Structures are given as structure tokens and as C-alpha cells.
Amino acid sequence: MAVGALCWALRAARQVLPLPCPGQVRGYYVDWRMLRDVKRRKLAYEYADERLRINAIRKNSILPKELQEVADKEIAALPRDSCPVRIHNRCVLTSRPRGVRRRWRLSRIVFRHFADHAQMSGVQRAMW
């Protein structure tokens, strides 16, 4: 409970400079972990093509092995956050790492909250 309160207090501030409007714009992510996840996603998007091509060279039976080893080294040299494996699907609203339904990107608690208040379209309490 105390941890939760601390987490709520330490809201992650995110400054976005390259925006069209002249002034500063601050948007808040739920917590730092969510911020880091956002960074990882962005980097993964940037390096996606390169990673694909280098992996195509690596996972190959035609090209010589030396070339493939060089490719291994190259891909390891890329920033660590650029690999898509490090992305973790957290809850969009609460940043909960576990119990997240992929279709709604929400944790089970938030999902239940909205569904009970009839704010989830097409979701109904199961009864059979």
C-alpha cells in the first residue's frame, strides 16, 4: 500500500521538446517503468529494418560462417533497447505488468472496473 502510494506520488514526468507548438509540453506517464517501456518500443521501431536484415544474414546456410559471425557482432553492438524482445505489454492505464488482457491493453482490475460500469463496448458478465 505504501509502495503504491509512493508510486502514485512519483509520477513520471516526460518532456517532449520537438513539438510544433513553441512552448514546453509535459505529459505524464503512469510511472518510470512505463516510460522505459515506451522508449524501448520507439527504439525497436527505429532499428526494426536493420535487425531484420542482419538476422537474415545470420540465420543463413548459404553465406560463409565468417560473415555470419561478423553479423553477430554487429547486431550485438546495436543498442540493447532496440530489440523487440525487451518490450513488455503493460497495462495502459495502471502500468501493471501482469494480468494484462492483450485485446484491451488493460489489467484485469481496470477491465473489470470499466466492464461493471458498462463502459466496455460489447462486454457483458458471463452467465451460463
Nearest distance from residue 17's CB to other proteins, in Å? 20
Distance, in Å, from the CA atom of 123 to the CA atom of 112, rounded to the nearest integer, reads: 10
Distance, in Å, from the CA atom of 24 to the CA atom of 15, rounded to the nearest integer, reads: 7
Distance, in Å, from the CA atom of 76 to the CA atom of 3, rounded to the nearest integer, reads: 36
Kindly list the residues in this chain that would bind other proteins in the complex (CB under 8 A).
Answer: 49-50, 53, 56-57, 60, 62-64, 66-67, 70
Nearest distance from residue 72's CB to other proteins, in Å? 13
Record the cell numbers describing residue 89, joined without a space: 505489454
Q: What are phi and psi of 16, to 5 degrees?
A: -115, 110
What DSSP assignment string belongs to 18-50? S-SSSS-EEEEESSHHHHHHHHHHHHHHHTHHH
Query: Between 7 and 57, whose beta carbon lies closer to other proteins?
Result: 57
Query: Between 21 and 127, whose beta carbon lies closer to other proteins?
Result: 21
Nearest distance from residue 55's CB to other proteins, in Å? 13
Distance, in Å, from the CA atom of 2 to the CA atom of 108, rounded to the nearest integer, reads: 21
Query: Between 69 and 116, whose beta carbon lies closer to other proteins?
Result: 69
Nearest distance from residue 63's CB to other proteins, in Å? 5
Query: Between 4 and 20, whose beta carbon lies closer to other proteins?
Result: 20
